[in-house]
Amino acid sequence: MRRAVIAGVGLMGGSLGLALRRRGWRVVGLGRDAARLAKARRRGAVDQTTTDPARALPGADVLVLCAPVDQLADQARRLRPFVENKTLVMDVGSVKGAVLRALAPLFPPGGPVFVGAHPMTGSEKTGVENARADLYRGAPCVVTPAPGTPVRVTARAEKFWRELGARVVRLTPDAHDRAVAVVSHLPHLIADALMLTAGDAGAGPLFRLAAGSFRDATRVAGADPALWRAIFTQNDAALRRALDVFEGALGRLAKGWPLPALRRARALNDRFRKDRP
């Protein structure tokens, strides 16, 4: 029986456990908080739980690191001594360049291999109580091999995510970070800034008027502030570049709300919705 160890059983790790168990994997939940682990067990996200890496990791086919991005390096450092050569190590973090630079020294050639992965799903909700077996189905999952990652290891990582129904996209870590800065981190930042703008304008009365466009644009402002601060910080350079481009676009629009630019936005939107209905 294939065996997966999930280190960190929140929304992402818990959903992964639910999905893997349905496909016949044996899933071990590994963590430092016994109460959180017990909750994941009750939720059916894992078959067994332990706080001891020495018990969890021997014999594992896959280890998936599910700590928040700013704690991934610590988590990997702690677990590394117990990882066998046969075990494929992956993460699910929202930033890949910084994570790879921190983790690469822990996984030199000849030992177990680390391949970064970023399933682009989730929600503004957190915790195993919001986990869903189908969280990864149909979602894009970016797999980010490093220059030296053996081809068969990348293939193994990609097969893992495809088995869960994800649409695998292969990118370099830096290309991933530039892309998600625009399509994920920037929309989160905008949601926060739009909420703060409403706050400055006297939230209460405004909120009575806010209809679909405000509600949709701010939904992700409900996401966890500490988690997102970590993501923004880890992807600082790419996010700043995306923000510059966005502010440039706003500036062009503010110069008389030019119809050609508004039409181009609409045309891009049509193309986007056609690709992803």
Examine residue 268 and tell whether it contacts a second copy (CB under 8 A).
yes
Contacts of 145 (CB under 8 A, 6+ apart): 115, 116, 153, 154, 157, 170
x/- mask, a second copy, residues 150-169, rule CB under 8 A, reads: -----------------x-x
CA angle in degrees (0–180, nearest 5) for 264-242-138: 75
Site for a second copy (CB under 8 A): which residue of 30, 120, 130, 237?
120
The whole-angstrom separation of Cα 8 and Cα 113 is: 19
Contacts of 96 (CB under 8 A, 6+ apart): 116, 118, 142, 144, 173, 174, 176, 177
Examine residue 102 and tell whether it contacts a second copy (CB under 8 A).
no
Site for a second copy (CB under 8 A): which residue of 50, 104, 187, 237?
187
Examine residue 205 and tell whether it contacts a second copy (CB under 8 A).
yes
Examine residue 266 and tell whether it contacts a second copy (CB under 8 A).
yes
Identify which of residues 1 and 254 has a Cβ nearer to a second copy in the complex.
254
Examine residue 137 and tell whether it contacts a second copy (CB under 8 A).
no
CA atoms within 13 Å, Cβ hemisphere of 78: 16
Q: Least distance in Å: CB of 92 to a second copy? A: 13
Contacts of 135 (CB under 8 A, 6+ apart): 11, 12, 15, 16, 19, 119, 121, 122
x/- mask, a second copy, residues 210-239, rule CB under 8 A, reads: xxxxxxxxxxxxxxxxx-xx--xx--x---
Site for a second copy (CB under 8 A): which residue of 102, 104, 139, 153?
139
What is the helix (H) or strand (E) element at residue 48, kind and residue range?
strand 48-50
Examine residue 196 and tell whether it contacts a second copy (CB under 8 A).
yes
Identify which of residues 82 and 136 has a Cβ nearer to a second copy in the complex.
136
Examine residue 184 and tell whether it contacts a second copy (CB under 8 A).
yes
Q: Strand order of the sheet with strand 26-30?
A: 48-50, 26-30, 3-7, 62-65, 88-91, 113-119, 140-144, 167-170
Count of residues near a second copy by CB under 8 A: 87
Q: Least distance in Å: CB of 141 to a second copy? A: 10
Examine residue 41 and tell whether it contacts a second copy (CB under 8 A).
no
Examine residue 59 and tell whether it contacts a second copy (CB under 8 A).
no
Examine residue 89 and tell whether it contacts a second copy (CB under 8 A).
no
Q: Spell out the alpha helix ranges (H) of the chain.
A: 11-22, 34-42, 53-56, 72-79, 97-103, 151-163, 173-180, 186-200, 203-209, 212-218, 225-234, 236-254, 259-275
Site for a second copy (CB under 8 A): which residue of 41, 140, 153, 154?
140
Q: Least distance in Å: CB of 209 to a second copy? A: 5
Identify which of residues 35 and 211 has a Cβ nearer to a second copy in the complex.
211
Examine residue 106 and tell whether it contacts a second copy (CB under 8 A).
no
Contacts of 185 (CB under 8 A, 6+ apart): 94, 231, 232, 235, 238, 239, 242
Q: Least distance in Å: CB of 93 to a second copy? A: 15
